[in-house]
Homo-oligomer: A and B are copies of this chain.
Amino acid sequence: MNRSQPTAKPGEPCAYEDAELGFRNHWYPAMFSADVRETEFKTLTILGEDILFKRIDGRVYAVRDECLHRGFRFSAKPESFTKNTITCHFHGFTYNLKNGDLIGIPSDPESKLIGKLKLHSYPVEEVKGMLFVFIGDIDPPPLADDLQPGFLDADVHVVPFHKEEVHSNWRIAADSASEFNHVFMHKDDFLLKYWKQPLPLVEMPKGDNPYEGYVPLEGSGPKGFKDVFREVVPVFEYKIECEGEVGVVRSAFNPQTEQGSIPFGQMEAVLVLPCGLSIGPWGSEPGSLVGEYVHYEWYVPIDETHHRYIIAWGKKVSSEGEALKAEHDVRTRWSYFEYEGFNKSDVLANEGTQRAYSEAGYAFGEKENLSRIDGYCLMWRRMAAKHNRGRQVRYGGKK
C-alpha cells in the first residue's frame, strides 16, 4: 500500500502517477464554517493526515490529531481546560492549539520537552463559509493560488452545500472533471429535464488539435486551465449501429424540440490545482437563458482509495438581501436538483472506476486506452505534474 517515495525537495513537483495521496504543500477545503462551532472539537482525515480542528474566539485552529508523547489520538476523548489548549487524556501533555507548542506535562513541569516539542500546526483560512487547511511544510502561498479564479471575489456569495466520502482515488474524479465528455453519463439526470438544460451528450473538437478549446493558466495565481465550450462541436445525438440494429441516444432534454435554458456555448469550466473545478454560468429558472450561479467542486484526497467530494455554489450579488436570497434558494431548491439530479451520477462513475485503477501491479492509468478527446485529460495531468508543490506521503512516513 505504501509505495511512498518522497519528493526530492519540499515544494518540488512530483509525477501525477505518484500522487495517490494527493499533492503536498497545497491548500485544501476541509469543512464548512458551521461544522466547527465555538469550543467544539472536530477531526478529519485529509491526504492521509488526521487533523483536529477547534474554533477559539471565532477563529479555527488545526493541529495533528495525535499526542507526541505516546501517540494517543486526542479526538478519542478531547480535553480542554482552557479555551486555547488541548490536553491529552492519557498522561495530560498539554499543547497550545494556536501553534502546537507543548506547554505542560503534569508529572514533569520542568521537562526540557516543554517549549521544544511542537505538534504539527496546520494553517487554516476561513473564507466564503468554508474552512481551508494547508497541508505541507513550506511557507504557505496565498490561498487564492490554490482556488478557482473568482471564488474569492468580494461580490461573490458562496453557499457550500455538499460533502461526501467517495470510494475512489481523487485522481479519477479530477481526470473526469478535466474533460467534458464524461457528461455522457448525465443524459438521463432529472436536473436536465427540470431546467430544460440543453447539455450535449459529448463534445467534439472542431479541428485536429484537441486542445484548442483550452486556455492554460500558468502565470501568477492558480495553475490549471480554462475550457471554453464555444470552440467545440456539441453532440446532441449518438447513433449506434450494430449487427443490423440501430439505436439512438439522446439527452433527457432535447433542445431540438423545445426551447431550453442557458446555451451551452456560454459556459466555461476551470480546473485548478490541487483539485478544484468551477463551471458556469449554471442554474436558473427553467427556460431562462441567463445562468445565475457558478458551480464549484473539489476532490480532496482522504487516502489512497477515497476522496471527499465537496460542492458549493457561488453567485454575484450586490446586496445582503441578494446574498440571503441565494442562500435560501440554493439550500431549499437548487442543491436538491444539483446533487440528487446530477452530481450523484459523477459519484457513481468515479466509484465504478476505482476497481480498475486499484488493481495490483499497475501504475495509475497504465491500462487506459485514450481517445483523441482524452487529450483534455492528458493536458490536466501534464499541468498537474508540472505545477504541483510536491508528493504527499503517509504522515511521518519513513524517507
Given the known interface contacts A106-B201, A204-B107, the answer about A84 and B245 at a Cβ–Cβ threshold of 8 Å is yes
Beta-carbon contact of B82 and A349 below 8 Å = no
Contact with B along A64-100 (1 / 0, CB 8 A): 0010111111001100111111010111101010100
Closest to A360 in B: B2
Binds B, one of A32-40, A137-145, A285-293, A391-399: A391-399
A369 and B64 alpha carbons, distance in the complex (Å): 15
Roughly how many angstroms separate A204 CA and B111 CA in the complex, as a whole number? 11
CB distance from A369 to the nearest CB of B (A): 5
A2 and B361 contacting across the interface, CB-CB below 8 Å: yes
Smallest Cβ distance from A121 to chain B, in angstroms?
14
Contact (Cβ within 8 A) A76 B348: yes
| CA gap between A126 and B107 in the complex, in Å | 41
B residues near A238, Cβ cutoff 8 Å: 92, 104, 106
Q: Of A8-16, A181-189, A223-231, A306-314, which binds chain B?
A: A181-189
A69 B368 Cβ-Cβ under 8 A: yes
Docked Cα-Cα span, A98 to B50, in Å, equals: 49
Q: Is the CB of A353 within 8 A of B72?
A: yes
- Chain B CB count within 10 A is highest, among A84, A91, A175, for A91
Chain A, residues 14-31, CB within 8 Å of chain B (1/0): the string is 000000000000000000
B82/A247 in contact, CB under 8 A: yes
Given contacts A107-B235, A249-B81, A396-B359, contact A371 B113 (CB under 8 A): yes
Q: Is A303 interfacial (CB 8 A cutoff)?
A: no
Interface size on A, residues (CB 8 A): 82
A240 sits at the interface (CB 8 A): yes
A1 at the interface (CB under 8 A from B): yes
Establish whether residues A91 and B181, one from each chain, have CB atoms under 8 Å apart when the complex forms: yes
Measured in the bound complex, the distance between the Cα atoms of B106 and A372 in whole Å is 12
**What is the minimal beta-carbon distance from A393 to any residue of chain B, in angstroms?**
10
Give the residue name and chain of the B residue nearest to A77 (CB): B348
| Residue from A2, A89, A395 with most neighbouring chain B CB atoms (10 Å) | A89
The answer on a CB contact under 8 Å between B83 and A181 is: no
The residues of B that contact A353 with a CB separation of less than 8 Å are 70-73, 90
A114 to chain B, nearest CB (A): 9
Which residue of chain B has its CB nearest to the CB of A101? B242
| Distance between A178 CB and nearest chain B CB, rounded to angstroms | 12
A355 contacts chain B at the CB level, 8 A cutoff: yes
Among B69, B243, B362, the residue within 8 A (CB) of A98 is: B243
A246 at the interface (CB under 8 A from B): yes
User: Lowest 4 A-B CB distances belong to which pairs?
Assistant: A71-B356, A81-B247, A76-B352, A107-B202
